[in-house]
Chain A
Amino acid sequence: MIAPAVLLTIILSYIPMSGLVLAFKNFRYDLGVFGSPWAGFENFKYFFLSGTGARVTFNTIFYNLINLITSQFLSMLVAIFITEIFGKTYKKICQSLIFLPYFISWVIVGTFIYNIFNYETGTFNSILKFFNMEPINMYSIPSAWVWIIMIFNSWKWVGYNSIIYMAAITNIDAECYEAADIDGANIFQKIRSITFPSIMPTIIVMLLLNVGRILRGDFQMFYQIVGNNGQLYNTTDVIDTFVFRSLLTSSDMGMTAAVSFYQSVLCLVIILAVNGIVKRVNKEYALF
């Protein structure tokens, strides 16, 4: 019964993996992946020597880290509040509304952002004009996009992630809370001493799963939010958008494969290291 999935995974993931030999080849479409001549480390050269490699690697890790911290923290907060405060109907409504952004594609999120920040008709500038302030062209301020991306990433995922934490919280034995009530613990003490330790395994799994993709930028998000705004590349270009763009513009297949290879190897090394450390500290918490 496991065969269909194994077969599909081999076809869709493991066989294409062999295409990574392109990283060391000079790809020619007519000769195919395996017929093309070898190129050694030539393909890696440009990416790293031009400084692009360092920049996009930094951006990718930077965004993943701040997005991980902000969105997970916010999700935990939301999950705790939704499970603990009074008022069933109000909670339900809030939960539904907060989950709403998960339903829409990045294409539409990109539209929202454009509606808010575009120079001529954007809501942001309408508000500024209302207060008699000079309108701002966000699309020429690269540093602003760090915040915009962080906020919209949290905005899109907070409903989804908070459900994962909510599920973990509802699994906690109610007797723990009752015992704490009898001992006179207040709600903040209960959250610190019961809720938090109980959802620790979930927090760690979520962290580890995210660390495993720390070098993979959310292509759809960056592409739809930033698009082809060259002015913003310095602060918003991640490995995945860079790869995609260079594929479109220069069709340098060798370099693209080299970057993918670098990304995969580094991902693997990082997760093995982090998982190893977690395993040392507490075997239960390790991902594998």
Chain B
Amino acid sequence: MSYSTLVNNRIRMSKSTIIFNIIGYSILSVLALLCIFPFIMLLSGSFTAEQSIAQYGYGIIPREFSTNAYDLLFKNPGEIVHAYGVTIFITAAGTFFGLFVTSMTAYVLSRQDFKYRNGFSFFFYFTTLFNGGTLTIYIFFVKYLNLKDSYLALILPLLINVFYLLIMRSFMTSIPSSIIESAKIDGAGEFLIYVRLILPLSKSGLTTIGLFILLGYWNDWYNAMLYISDYKMYPLQYMLYNMLSATEAISRISSSSGIEISNMPAQSLKMAMAVIATGPVLLVYPFVQKYFVKGITIGAVKG
């Protein structure tokens, strides 16, 4: 290659790279803005005076700043604090057991010397293809397991997610089998190998899947809608849902705080409640972000 063609290539290369970067920057910036915009609107809406919303609609910056909605929510914080407690309990218990069962199962399925690994993988995957549907599970839970108004009904349905199981298994397949072999020679039992060797080596996989499971529990309102009828057992998201869809919860707050319904800051109150329900889980993100890309490897059902 002569010097001039090399220089030409250089120039052409950098030109296309510049074009690529311009397109990339524009697309990513627009997307990022679109993603953050509703959150800003939500936050601003929660700090806007009610009449201002009614008159001008929502904006990026509150037209008329007011902490009315938050004052009202925290005037009688009992219900919210309680719902927080329920959500935190469900999320903590569910994430812990979910992660434990998922990682243990994934470890077994990732072992190449386990003869029936493909059969068992399909056994799990099959449930996502063919299942009884909401109704039969509902009847089974309520009539046969007696789980109506039980926290177990909120934990069990989300405990094992086959997609996460597949991700975790692909992740663990990349752990060299020689490590397991040598531990075996040293006389370690299977469970010990799993706890002492596999779990520490799977940190990024566990963190990623852990976050997914955690978000699943934190954001779950559906199972609460199906199984929980006792108001005292409502998790946060279902309380929020009720607040948004019906004015039932609002009127309850109104009666307990002594404010007329017509004077309730309904719109900003909804926004404030949404902020309160979402805030804490967003705080988890910075801590787990660095594990993300490393933690996800997706493979087929067979392995």
Q: CA–CA, A115 to B137, complex, Å?
A: 35
Per-residue CB contact flags for chain A residues 9-40 toward chain B (1 = under 8 Å, else 0) read 10011111111101000000100110000000
Q: Given A9-B127, A126-B57, A155-B34, A98–B28 Cβ distance below 8 Å?
A: yes
Q: CA–CA, A84 to B32, complex, Å?
A: 17
With a CB–CB cut-off of 8 A, which chain B residues contact A257?
Answer: 133, 135-136
Q: Contact check, A111 vs B42: say whether CB atoms are below 8 A apart.
A: yes
A1-B107, A12-B159 known; 5 new pairs, CB 8 Å cut-off, are: A85-B25, A108-B278, A206-B298, A260-B133, A288-B125
Per-residue CB contact flags for chain A residues 157-194 toward chain B (1 = under 8 Å, else 0) read 01100011011101100000000000010111000000
Query: Contacting chain A: which of B71-79, B238-246, B256-264?
Result: B238-246
Can you list 21 A-B contacts with CB-CB less than 8 angstroms, sorted by A residue number? A2-B109, A2-B120, A9-B160, A13-B127, A16-B140, A18-B132, A19-B139, A100-B36, A103-B285, A104-B219, A106-B219, A111-B244, A112-B38, A120-B57, A159-B35, A164-B298, A187-B17, A212-B128, A256-B135, A260-B132, A287-B302
Shortest CB distance A15–B (Å): 7
With a CB–CB cut-off of 8 A, which chain B residues contact A206?
Answer: 298
Q: Contact check, B278 vs A17: say whether CB atoms are below 8 A apart.
A: no
A263 located at the interface, meaning its Cβ lies under 8 Å from any Cβ of chain B in the complex? yes
Interface size of B by CB at 8 A reads 99
Q: Contact check, B35 vs A17: say whether CB atoms are below 8 A apart.
A: no
Question: Which residues in chain B, 190-204, are within 8 Å of chain A measured between CB atoms?
Answer: 190-191, 194
Interface size of A by CB at 8 A reads 100
With a CB–CB cut-off of 8 A, which chain B residues contact A5?
Answer: 101-102, 104-105, 124, 160, 165
With a CB–CB cut-off of 8 A, which chain B residues contact A110?
Answer: 244
Q: CA–CA, A112 to B229, complex, Å?
A: 27
With a CB–CB cut-off of 8 A, which chain B residues contact A12?
Answer: 137, 156-157, 159-160
Q: Contact check, B13 vs A186: say whether CB atoms are below 8 A apart.
A: yes
Q: Given A1-B108, A12-B157, A105-B221, A264–B133 Cβ distance below 8 Å?
A: yes
Q: Contact check, B274 vs A111: say whether CB atoms are below 8 A apart.
A: yes
Q: Given A5-B105, A6-B120, A286–B300 Cβ distance below 8 Å?
A: yes
With a CB–CB cut-off of 8 A, which chain A residues contact B109?
Answer: 2
Query: Contacting chain A: which of B88-96, B178-186, B286-294?
Result: B286-294
> Which residue in B31, B107, B118 is a CB contact (below 8 Å) of A158?
B31
Q: CA–CA, A106 to B289, complex, Å?
A: 22
Per-residue CB contact flags for chain A residues 183-222 toward chain B (1 = under 8 Å, else 0) read 0101110000000000000100110110011000001100
Q: Contact check, B16 vs A188: say whether CB atoms are below 8 A apart.
A: yes
Q: CA–CA, A247 to B244, complex, Å?
A: 22
A93 located at the interface, meaning its Cβ lies under 8 Å from any Cβ of chain B in the complex? yes
Shortest CB distance A92–B (Å): 8
> Which residue in A91, A163, A205 is a CB contact (below 8 Å) of B299?
A205
Q: Contact check, B41 vs A155: say whether CB atoms are below 8 A apart.
A: no
Q: Contact check, B298 vs A103: say whether CB atoms are below 8 A apart.
A: no
Shortest CB distance A71–B (Å): 12
Shortest CB distance B16–A (Å): 4
Q: Given A105-B237, A111-B244, A166–B293 Cβ distance below 8 Å?
A: yes
Shortest CB distance A94–B (Å): 4
- Choose among B16, B133, B300 the residue with the greatest number of A CB atoms under 10 Å from its CB: B133
Q: CA–CA, A15 to B237, complex, Å?
A: 29
Q: CA–CA, A219 to B191, complex, Å?
A: 39
Per-residue CB contact flags for chain B residues 118-160 toward chain A (1 = under 8 Å, else 0) read 1011111101111111111101100100000000000011011
Q: Given A17-B132, A97-B35, A115-B41, A121–B267 Cβ distance below 8 Å?
A: yes
> Which residue in B24, B31, B59 is a CB contact (below 8 Å) of A85?
B24
With a CB–CB cut-off of 8 A, which chain B residues contact A101?
Answer: 35
Give the residue name and chain of the B residue nearest to A271 (CB): B129
Q: CA–CA, A256 to B132, complex, Å?
A: 10
Q: Contact check, B104 vs A1: say whether CB atoms are below 8 A apart.
A: yes
B112 located at the interface, meaning its Cβ lies under 8 Å from any Cβ of chain A in the complex? no
A8 located at the interface, meaning its Cβ lies under 8 Å from any Cβ of chain B in the complex? yes
Q: CA–CA, A168 to B45, complex, Å?
A: 39
Give the residue name and chain of the A residue nearest to B116 (CB): A2
Q: CA–CA, A227 to B244, complex, Å?
A: 11
Query: Contacting chain B: which of A51-59, A75-83, A139-147, A230-238?
Result: A75-83
With a CB–CB cut-off of 8 A, which chain B residues contact A77?
Answer: 27
A96 located at the interface, meaning its Cβ lies under 8 Å from any Cβ of chain B in the complex? yes
Q: CA–CA, A101 to B45, complex, Å?
A: 18
With a CB–CB cut-off of 8 A, which chain B residues contact A106?
Answer: 219
Q: Contact check, A188 vs B20: say whether CB atoms are below 8 A apart.
A: yes
- Choose among A16, A32, A244 the residue with the greatest number of B CB atoms under 10 Å from its CB: A16
Give the residue name and chain of the A residue nearest to B165 (CB): A5
Q: Contact check, B16 vs A187: say whether CB atoms are below 8 A apart.
A: yes
